Chain A
């Protein structure tokens, strides 16, 4: 049967009803999806090959110029460095912390629910509120530096530190805040993974005389790999797109774009400099980076034989 005949077949007799109902149920979501996702995605490709200021509504075709300009854009290079550094620090830290906390809370202890709830709280709080709270806590004479003074450290003026040779304290501050705010969410994800490992595996290993470490190394860790993969992918996608925190806390500063991230740069180019075409081109470069990062992780994971 040809594909067309098959297609026709599904609109005959009893099947007609089901097909029509199916289309009716997905009609609105699909319309919205094509109008506000697929449409803009295609449009975005087109815009990225044009010079377009929003004020004039006039598009001038410039070919690949927007893309070649990116490499010469010093601010973009800084923003990319910041974003990658941010990702490289935040992703492993929060994954390890989340896994560690999940392993601890998964022991048969009282109050596990309490700990889970407490760690999850930042995940339900708006990024703006968290940023505003930490804006206050990171004051030169604020709570964080107060606690640091107990262990003999004179804390810097985190969000307003001066330029190098000082380290990039503002970026570090945003990193620490985000490790804090997302670890709890991923801990709950890990816990769900841990609880799906059948108890009988552990019992069998115990009978065979496996030590606690061996049980962790040869049962927990391998069976936790799919969850770990999921957490790392989500976490990479999230960190590469950080924006809110930068906007609220530092607006890309305090000195020479020290906390400007790729998304912040795109936003700035599009809505402050009104260079829509160029901003779209950067957005596609960011997409390429996210895509490559995800594919690399998938490949690594496949080679390690994790995904079944």
Chain B
């Protein structure tokens, strides 16, 4: 080989190598800067939930709550104790848990059954019903919220759990998600099971359901989160404070009882934010799964 040529080549390689490194560094700088923008509000509000009234409103801002100093540890959880003792707060947590859990369980059952029927069972009108289901997803909630209110009022459901649970038992989005999933399971599997004499329900129960764990996990997570964070529902249908859920409760607390006492409000917010955050960190891959299933088909 020709020595000078190699020299040129290695020089060029060195330049591109350097350029590659700079590019990579730049990407990291941008991604880390953005991560900082995303982290700061959360970390700062966790810190804020431990601050005293004075610290939470100090300027320039305080970052380390004085209660973190070893000698002050006895007062560390004062804000949390205060919000915990606040009127109705325990009841709001109970309501949120009850509604979110029951709606999630119901959707796991009913949406997977319906999704399976729409994907794999043949019955007259199947596709028409499904198109109708999807079609109404486009209509904004504002259209149904007023007649909905009137209907629930007539049924005597206002200020009861029914109003938030029964209409949400089988959500269209979940049926759609499960149908998409069951369609990805090869029909051969279905036919083979039938040949072997497995009943239609048996196919669903013994073959389809076990295969659909990832889709069910995505469904459970999204449903739970949607219910847990639901604000407008309780706002419209619950006037009795004992029937409120956490999002509605802390909004009221922030406006009335603890107006401008951000530390207490932040401590209350943690009870709303932490459960979903923990679920997210534990089951991350299913969140992405849900997006991939419904978004890209």
Contacts and interface: CB of A to CB of B under 8 A. Distances in A.
Contact of B122 (A10, A37, A188, A291): A10
Nearest to A108: B24
B57 interface: yes
A132 B266 contact: yes
B223 to A, nearest CB: 13
Interface residues of B, number: 90
Nearest to B235: A247
A40 B273 contact: no
B167 A32 contact: yes
Given A143-B44, A143-B61, A287-B143, A121 B122 contact: no
Interface residues of A, number: 94
Contacts of B28: 109
Given A33-B172, A126-B247, A283-B140, A10 B235 contact: no
A288 B170 CA distance: 27
Contact of A294 (B114, B138, B279): B138
Contact of B117 (A25, A115, A192): A25
B251 interface: yes
Given A120-B280, A136-B48, A270-B146, A43 B231 contact: no
A70 to B, nearest CB: 14
Contacts, number: 263
B143 A189 contact: no
Interface string A120-143: 111011111110111111010111
Q: Which of B37, B114, B146, B276 gathers most chain A CB within 10 Å? A: B146
Contacts of B201: 21
A244 interface: yes
B295 A132 contact: no
B31 A105 contact: yes
Q: Which of B41, B148, B232, B272 gathers most chain A CB within 10 Å? A: B41
Interface in B152-202: 153, 166-167, 169-170, 172, 175, 200-201
9 contacts: A22-B122, A26-B118, A33-B133, A36-B166, A121-B280, A126-B272, A127-B231, A276-B146, A286-B143
Given A115-B31, A128-B231, A133-B41, A40 B147 contact: yes
A41 B124 CA distance: 25
B38 A21 contact: no
Contacts of B296: 192-193, 196, 226-227, 230
Interface of B (DSSP majority class): helix
Interface string A16-46: 0111111101101110110111111101100
B269 A192 contact: no
B34 A101 contact: yes
Interface stretch (B68-76, B84-92, B285-293): B285-293
A284 B31 contact: no
A44 B27 contact: no
Nearest to A226: B296
Interface of A: 6-7, 10, 15, 17-23, 25-26, 28-30, 32-33, 35-41, 43-44, 47, 54, 101, 104-105, 107, 109, 113-115, 117-122, 124-130, 132-137, 139, 141-143, 146, 180, 184, 188-189, 192-193, 196, 226-227, 230, 237, 240-241, 243-244, 247-248, 262-263, 266-267, 270-271, 276, 279-280, 283-284, 286-287, 290-291, 294
B56 to A, nearest CB: 8
Nearest to B276: A124
Contacts of A28: 110, 114, 169-170
A108 to B, nearest CB: 9
B153 to A, nearest CB: 8
Contacts of B118: 26
A142 B166 CA distance: 43
Interface string B113-143: 1101110011110100100110010111111
B170 A32 contact: yes
Given A19-B124, A188-B287, A248-B254, 19 more contacts: A36-B167, A37-B136, A39-B151, A44-B147, A101-B34, A124-B225, A130-B41, A133-B45, A136-B56, A139-B57, A143-B40, A143-B44, A146-B60, A196-B296, A247-B251, A266-B142, A266-B145, A283-B145, A291-B138
A190 B269 CA distance: 30
A142 B45 CA distance: 12
Contacts of A114: 35
Contact of A15 (B122, B126, B148, B170): B122
Interface string B224-265: 010011011001100000000001101100100000001001
Nearest to A243: B232
B53 to A, nearest CB: 13
B291 A188 contact: yes
Contacts of A107: 24, 27
